[in-house]
């Protein structure tokens, strides 16, 4: 079980690119990275297209991130890709219900 998180600055914000597995053992690392990024930047792009495994742990993190973006006012863009993250987002029908997150 391994996760790969890459954080880069881009104009106006931060891009977080995730690879590997997002699950009970690794999820907290992604969550910590997101929380730290939210402190620093007004816009965050979360790229999940390279994720191999994404279960309810990842979903929890994603949904909570949207709710925080709603209340904190920062911009959150989620890129599900067409792999595991996209599958879970589709099954739970949340893409069209994100308040702040724009899914590309």
Sheet (strand 75-79) strand order = 3-10, 13-22, 43-54, 75-79, 102-103
Of 24 and 42, nearer to another protein (C-beta) is 24
Binding string, residues 48-67; x marks residues near another protein by CB under 8 A: -------xxx-xx--xx--x
Write down the least CB distance from residue 25 to another protein, Å. 4
The piece of 8-16, 43-51, 71-79, 87-95 that touches another protein (CB under 8 A) is 87-95
Is residue 90 at the binding interface for another protein, with CB under 8 A as the rule? yes
> Residue 99 burial by CB count (10 A; 0-12/13-18/19+): exposed, middle or buried?
exposed
| Residue owning tokens 């053992």 | 25
Q: Are 3 and 34 in contact (CB under 8 A)?
A: no
* Contacting residues toward another protein, per CB under 8 A: 23-25, 27-29, 55-57, 59-60, 63-64, 67, 90-94, 97, 99
């Amino acid at each position: 079980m391994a996760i790969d998180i890459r954080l880069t600055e881009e104009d106006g914000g931060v891009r977080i690119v995730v690879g590997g597995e997002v699950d009970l053992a690794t999820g907290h690392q992604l969550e910590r990275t997101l929380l730290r990024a939210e402190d620093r930047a007004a816009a965050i792009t979360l790229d999940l297209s390279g994720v191999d495994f994404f279960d309810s742990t990842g979903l929890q993190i994603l949904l909570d991130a949207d709710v925080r973006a709603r209340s904190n006012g920062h911009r959150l863009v989620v890129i599900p890709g067409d792999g595991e993250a996209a599958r879970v987002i589709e099954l739970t029908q949340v893409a069209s219900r994100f308040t702040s997150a724009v899914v590309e």
